[in-house]
Amino acid sequence: MPSFQRHVFVCVNERAPDNPKGCCKSRGGVEVRDTLKTELKKRGLAKLVRANNAGCLDQCEQGVTVVVYPEQVWYGHVTPADVVEIIEQHLVGGKPVTRLLLPDQPHLKGDLPALEITR
């Protein structure tokens, strides 16, 4: 059984186009998730990091919303162009991507645990 060190949840929730809340799917959630899966595979990290679909994460105005567990790092306004930085800087390097962080995350102090990569 794979033992994932991280789960990256990407909101792909869809709402009707006339819904005032909008949704992450219309902002590119599926493309972010697909890019994440592709880039993890390319780097041989797909057995360590699981890219998960998520329903609404209740941060709709910040979408596309992404959250990394177990360290509970929340990102907003994520695009496919941001995915490599999240992988390299955060997941591999242990440093959150500051410019994408949602506000009010007082638990984020200093570096995060990096992936334990054995090849």
Q: Closest separation between CB of residue 84 and ligand FES, Å?
A: 22
d(CA 22, CA 39) in angstroms, rounded, equals 27
- Residues making contact with ligand FES (CB under 6 A): 11, 13, 23-24, 56-60, 63, 65
**Which of residues 23 and 112 has its CB atom nearest to ligand FES in the complex?**
23
To ligand FES, the closest distance from the beta carbon of 27 in angstroms equals 8
Which pair of tokens denotes residue 104? 């009010």
User: For the purposes of burial, counting CB atoms within 10 Å of the CB of 56, is it exposed (0-12), middle (13-18) or buried (19 or more)?
Assistant: middle
For ligand FES, the closer CB: 60 or 112: 60
Pairing of strands 6-11, 73-75: unpaired
Q: How far is the CB of 63 from ligand FES (least distance, A)?
A: 4
CB nearer ligand FES, residue 11 or residue 91: 11
Q: What is the torsional sign of CA 76, 81, 86, 89?
A: negative
